[in-house]
Structure 1
Amino acid sequence: MISDFITRQPIFNQNMVIKAYELLYRHNHVNHFPDICQEHATRSIITDFHLDIKQQLVGDTKAFINFTQQAIIQGLPYALDPTKVVIEVLESTTPSLGLIQALQKLHHKGYTLALDDYIPHQSWAECYPYISYIKFDLQQFSIADAGYFISQLEHQHIQFIAEKIETKRAYLQAKQQGFNLFQGYYLSRPELLYKLPLNHNYRHAFIAHYQTLTCNTSATHNPLPTSHKNPVIGFMSDQTMVNQICVK
Structure 2
Amino acid sequence: MEVFVARQPIFNSKEEVFAYELLYRNNQVNAFPEIDEDQATAEVIINSFLNIGIDYLSEGKPCFINFTEKLLKLKLPAYFRPREIVVEILETVEPSAELVNICKDLKELGYQIALDDYVFNETNPFARQLLKYADIIKVDFLNTPKDMREKIEMLVNHLKIKTVAEKVETRESYEEAKSKGYDYFQGYFFCEASHYVYT
CA deviation map 1:29-74 (0-9, x unaligned): 2231311111111111112232244712111110000001121112
The correspondence of residues 157-196 of structure 1 with structure 2, limited to 5 A, is 158-196=161-199
- Matched-pair contact (CA < 8 Å) for 1:144–1:177: no
List runs of 5+ in structure 2 lacking aligned partners.
none
Q: Which amino acid aligns with 2:74?
A: Q
Q: CA RMSD in A?
A: 1.8
Q: TM-score, normalised by structure 1?
A: 0.73
- Matched-pair contact (CA < 8 Å) for 1:21–1:62: yes
* Distance change >3 Å, CA 3–CA 25, structure 1 → 2: farther
The correspondence of residues 1-248 of structure 1 with structure 2, limited to 5 A, is 4-51=3-50, 52-53=52-53, 55-92=55-92, 94-122=94-122, 123=124, 124-142=127-145, 145-153=148-156, 154-156=158-160, 158-196=161-199
List runs of 5+ in structure 1 lacking aligned partners.
197-248
Identity among equivalent positions (%) equals 34
Larger Rg: 1
Shift of 1:143: 5.0
Q: Which amino acid aligns with 2:12?
A: N
- Matched-pair contact (CA < 8 Å) for 1:20–1:62: yes
Q: Any idea what SS the aligned residue of 1:146 has? A: helix
Q: Which amino acid aligns with 1:138?
A: F
* Distance change >3 Å, CA 95–CA 54, structure 1 → 2: closer
Q: TM-score, normalised by structure 2?
A: 0.90
Aligned length: 194
Distance, in Å, in 2 between the alignment partners of 1:97 and 1:144 is: 28
Runs (4 or more) in structure 1 with deviation over 4 Å come to none
Shift of 1:142: 3.5
Distance, in Å, in 2 between the alignment partners of 1:118 and 1:54 is: 27
Distance, in Å, in 2 between the alignment partners of 1:162 and 1:182 is: 5
Shift of 1:98: 1.5
